[in-house]
Amino acid sequence: MEDTNVKLSIKSFTVPELMVALPESATIANLKKAVMEAAMKLLGGSLHVRVLLQGKKITDESKSLRQAGISIDGKLDSLDFMLEPNSFPTSSSVGDGFLVLSQNNNQQTLRYPALSEGNEINSDSFHVGTIQGKPQGFHEIDSNNSGSEMQSGAERPAKNNVAGNELVVPGPCALVIHPNQAHNSPNGLAVVPFSQNPAGVSTNKRRMRRPFSVAEVEVLVQAVEKLGTGRWRDVKLHAFPQAKHRTYVDLKDKWKTLVHTASIAPHQRRGEPVPQGLLDRVIQAHSYWTAQQAKQQTVELKIL
């Protein structure tokens, strides 16, 4: 039995989101120190490494890489590693499902809101890096790490979070500066644990990439064939009522890419190949509903 080595390289680690608060009078040096302390505190605590393949977490640790689908020929679309606080043991006792990087229970507790999404993947785990496997044992890495930006734009205009029954976008942490009072701490700086955004600072975190599976595409196409391309709210409700991710805007965007995908040569397509049969249906439906929409507009003009 061949046992080829699956070589992987992690291009870079995105530091988990850190919370830092300090007075405006603090210096850049103070800022650096505060961030350093937050980082050290995080690393000092025990963390877990979670492995995700194409957005789905791999829970069965007894699986071999090959069985899990992490093989050279397994056209790995995206292998992700995330660091998670060792707050709540997922299920079993010790040494269970994860690799414990560090077993140090430091003093102050940096809290990371554990907002789970039922059966879905915890969207607020820390995305650390992405690795991609290539057919020939070559490996690239998704340079697009969606992690915390600790550079300049640490803040943006407040976003209106949809608070409906769905469309839940956690994003509890971000590096923010408390413009308010100077906490009483050794040097006026303080690494504080916060639950939300006390100062009303926008918590914007890019969502993790979740490539549509062929099965999902199938469902989407089915829905669009029935409902058309102008009622994404309904498409979402009919095709992905339970998927917390996959908002109607996502579905609309996916349809857009599908239409495009169907128009380009197969060799130019990326990701898991979508059956040509499905792409044909995409074109059919797209064509049909586009014409339908044109007719609608004609009617509207007649009325006017």
Partner DNA sequence: CTTAGGG
Partner DNA sequence: CCCTAAG
Residues contributing to the site for DNA (CB under 7 A): 156-157, 159-160, 162-164, 167, 169, 204, 206-210, 229-234, 245, 248-250, 252-254, 256
- Nearer to DNA by Cβ, of 40 and 158: the residue is 158
CB of 232 to DNA, least distance (A): 4
Instruction: Write phi, then psi, for 268 (nearest 5 degrees).
Output: -95, -5
CB of 279 to DNA, least distance (A): 18
Long-range contacts of 66-69 (CB under 8 A, 24+ apart): none
Instruction: Write phi, then psi, for 117 (nearest 5 degrees).
Output: -120, 55
CB of 162 to DNA, least distance (A): 3
CB of 151 to DNA, least distance (A): 15
- Nearer to DNA by Cβ, of 81 and 232: the residue is 232
- Nearer to DNA by Cβ, of 49 and 162: the residue is 162
Quickly list H helices, the chain.
28-44, 65-68, 214-227, 232-239, 248-263, 276-303
- Nearer to DNA by Cβ, of 86 and 204: the residue is 204
Give the Cα separation of 147 and 144 in Å (integer): 9
How far from chain centre, in Å, is Cα 301?
44
Q: How many helices (H) and strands (E) does the chain have?
A: 6, 6
CB of 59 to DNA, least distance (A): 20
- Nearer to DNA by Cβ, of 37 and 155: the residue is 155
3-state secondary structure of 42: helix
Q: If we measure between CA atoms, which residue out of 49, 50, 53 comes closest to residue 133?
A: 53
